[in-house]
Homo-oligomer: A and B are copies of this chain.
């Protein structure tokens, strides 16, 4: 889901998710769209000289609420986020598997690999799934 997005694209993308396109938000979306791996708040912070943590925090939060991005809990202690595909509604059917590389620490969306269906015991209601595989990624094995 990387890069190559005009300002207009960005505005449209925010608009399509009902997010008021402020300057800050466009900048954050821009950073997000350039990532090849999921990004956490601390790392996002590092992409800006002057922006403050709270604003970025809240930006991510609204992006998540509006389903522009999704949260990934990979066990590293930092919650990470990545852009949703355009049609994603973050329903169980939309979910994919994630991969955390032990070596480089990066967390990748495996957009092509849907989260497998699970038959829960009787009485349990499924609402979401967080599936993270850990191991060594292709680039680190080369």
A134-B127 contact, Cβ under 8 Å, with A97-B118, A110-B121? yes
Task: Report the minimum CB–CB distance from A12 to chain B (whole Å).
Answer: 31
Residues of B within 8 A of A128 (CB): 133-135
Interface flag for A75 (CB, 8 Å):
yes
Secondary structure at the A interface, as helix, strand, loop or mixed, is strand
Contacts of A75 in B (CB 8 A): 71, 73, 79, 130
Copies in the complex: 2
Q: Are B118 and A138 in contact (CB under 8 A)?
A: no
* Neighbouring B residues of A99 by C-beta, 8 Å: 120, 124
Q: How far is the CB of A123 from chain B (nearest CB, A)?
A: 3
Q: Is A50 an interface position by the 8 A CB rule?
A: no
Known: A73-B74, A102-B127, A131-B131. 11 other contacts (CB 8 A): A110-B121, A121-B138, A122-B138, A123-B137, A123-B142, A124-B136, A125-B135, A126-B134, A127-B134, A128-B133, A130-B131
Chain A residues within CB distance 8 Å of chain B:
71, 73-75, 79, 97, 99, 102, 110, 112-113, 116, 118-138, 141-142
